[in-house]
Amino acid sequence: MNTTLRRMSTVVMAMFLALMVSTTWIQFVQAESLSGDTRNTRKIYADYCNLRGPIVVGGESIVVSTPVDDVCAYRRVYGGGDPAIAELYAPVTGFYSIVNGSTGIENAENSFLSGQADSLWLDRLQNLITGEEVQGSSVELTIDPAVQRAAWDALGDRRGAVVAIEPSTGKILAMVSKPSFDPNPLSIFSSADASAAYTALLNAPVEGSPYGPLINRATRATFPPGSTFKLVTAAAALETGRYTADTEIDAPRTYQPMPSVDYHMPNFGNAACSPTDRMSLLDALRISCNTAFGKLGVDLGEDALRDQAESFGFNQRLEIPLSTAESVVQDSLPDAAILAQSAIGQRDVVATPLQVAMIAAAIANDGELMEPYLVQAVRDSDTAVIQEATPRRLKTSVSGSTAEALTQMMLAVVNDGSGTSAQIPGVQVAGKTGTAQNGQGEPTTLWFTAFAPADAPQVAVAVVLEKEGQSTDETTGGRLASPVARAVIEAVLAP
């Protein structure tokens, strides 16, 4: 009898031990993977059905959670349900979908919006004790609604992006991307309808572009920067101490970087920059002379050019908190022909509109590049501030004297150079045009970057127009992109 009891006790103990080990393994070891499993409907509904905090612009909630009688108690609503307002901010806000996941600020600030951030532990504890519903925090963006609207309207039906930055802080005042989309059809609870809406956006035809409406062109799309990159090349020259704005440099009608390679760099429209094939660095930037900057880039060398580009933020990713694509200057520029093309923002050099705006912002801020940011503050459900942005220096891009020289050169571009369409009565605008060409020499990507007022900058802006140019003087970045920048600057400076 005792032997039987001992055997039974051993079996029971083994069963209890197996149960304890299994429970511990599931609840602790596998907890994270099970929680994150896409098939875990309990976790999905817990995440998507709570009262998320609003996303706020200019004191107004542009994204809210609205009570509904459905599988969830709340549904995410964008722009008050108005597609026109929702599209204005969609590239920044992104979407939050029970079927398609999340993007933009909805994704980057999810822990605060959902109320699950570590800093909100006390709120969660109080909710647990009182049994109250978990509420997410509000996320206040740096976007100025008047500047955002001005950028949106000025861009019109064109495909492209606009970024406006406050140079002294890095605060992003506007971020527009077109074509855009309405997030509201993605936030519905019908899996079939939400999936169909997402698939339609994913497959939306955007002729001649790899970027659809779901891509934020301001941060996630890269384009050849064209002549806006000449600011980087000019900065590299000035930083050596061997050049000033008045230094005369070679500016031939065409430039052959390598005698052994049949490549001749032309100027726009095959025009001559100077009757003497020489001109000052300032004048070369003022009229955007390709051959002068191609030759200058070769004279400076690949290390100087790359190092200067990296001082402006190239070859690194940022979290603003949106994740940005990397603007790139190659690790190796193996020959003079490639180096010359890179020096004028062609070949394999690519940049986001945010990056180009950062170049202008650094020059405007006496050479100090501030870290760009989109979130001004986070407030809990009682409106108490739990996180607030603090401006931070990202890099010293150039010296103060180089920034001043570049400012004078950019003023010349707008006053009587290639960017006169950006002129604003009573305001000194410093700018640079860009017209990036394809392999057939046709301008296809148009740029303008600027800051103003030049003596006390309040805004730096970059505009890109994708696939907009033709081979005419009337379709350059100076003609088509600079008026968009002018409208944004005017909105910032409006009383």
pLDDT tens, residue by residue, 318-371: 999 999 999 999 887 778 899 999 999 998 899 999 999 999 999 999 999 999
Both structure tokens of 109: 């600030």
Distance CA 380, CA 200 (A): 36
Q: Show me where the domains of the chain are located.
A: 226-376+389-493
Let me know if 65 is a catalytic residue.
no
Looking at the DSSP assignment, which residues form a beta bridge with residue 393? 370
Q: Specify the pLDDT at position 439.
A: 55
226-376+389-493 maps to CATH 3.40.50.720: no
Residues in the chain, how many?
495
- Does residue 106 contact residue 139 with C-beta atoms inside 8 Å? no
Stretches where the chain sits below pLDDT 50 are 38-39, 41, 121, 471-475
Rounded to two decimals, what is the model's pTM?
0.88
Strands 368-370 and 393-396 turn out to be antiparallel
Q: State the distance between the two ends of the chain, measured CA to CA, in whole angstroms.
A: 97
Both structure tokens of 427: 């305001």
Distance CA 44, CA 65 (A): 16
- Does residue 93 contact residue 106 with C-beta atoms inside 8 Å? yes
Distance CA 244, CA 133 (A): 64
Give the contacts of 474 (CB within 8 A, at least 6 positions apart): none
- Does residue 334 contact residue 137 with C-beta atoms inside 8 Å? no
3-class state of residue 105 by DSSP: helix
Q: Is 402 exposed, middle or buried (0-12, 13-18, 19+ CB in 10 A)?
A: buried
Residue of 102, 227, 280, 381 marked catalytic? 227
Q: Specify the pLDDT at position 436.
A: 85
Q: Could you tell me how many helices (H) and strands (E) the chain has, helices first?
A: 18, 19
* DSSP string across 124-148: HHHHHHHTPPPBPPEEEE---HHHH
Percentages helix, strand, coil for the chain (3-state, rounded to 5) are 40, 20, 40
In degrees, rounded to 5, the angle at the alpha carbon of residue 229 between the alpha carbons of residues 159 and 442 is 50
Both structure tokens of 124: 């969660």
